[in-house]
Chains A and B, each alone.
Chain A
Amino acid sequence: IDLNEEMKHEFYVAHRVTYDYYIGRKSMFDANYREAESHLTKALKHCHKDSLKNKRLILIYLIPVNLLLGRLPKIELLEKYNLTEFQLVCEAVRTGNLLMLRQALEEHQEFFVQCGVYLILEKLQVLALRNLLKTVHGILGSAQVKLDAVLTALRVMKETDIDMDELECIIANLIHQKYVKGYISHSHHTLVVSKSEPFPPLSFLR
Chain B
Amino acid sequence: TSKQEDHSDVKLWDDDWDSAAGETEFTQQLRAELEKAGFKKA
Contacts and interface: CB of A to CB of B under 8 A. Distances in A.
Interface in A130-149: 131, 134-136, 138-142, 146, 148-149
Contacts of A41: 10
Given A77-B12, A95-B27, A49 B18 contact: no
Interface of B: 1, 4-7, 9-10, 12-15, 17-19, 21, 24, 26-27, 29-31, 33-34, 37, 39-42
A55 interface: yes
A13 B5 CA distance: 10
Interface residues of A, number: 43
Contacts of B39: 139-140, 146, 148-149, 152
Given A140-B34, A152-B34, A135 B14 contact: no
Interface of A: 13, 41, 44-49, 55, 59, 66, 70-74, 76-77, 80, 94-97, 100, 131, 134-136, 138-142, 146, 148-149, 152-153, 156, 199, 201-203
B34 to A, nearest CB: 6
Contacts, number: 93
B9 to A, nearest CB: 6
A74 B18 contact: no
Instruction: State the majority secondary structure of interface residues on A.
Output: helix
Nearest to A96: B26
Nearest to A92: B26
Nearest to B29: A156
B9 A140 contact: no
A140 B41 contact: yes
A94 B34 contact: no
Contacts of B17: 72, 94
Given A94-B21, A95-B26, A152 B1 contact: no
B20 to A, nearest CB: 10
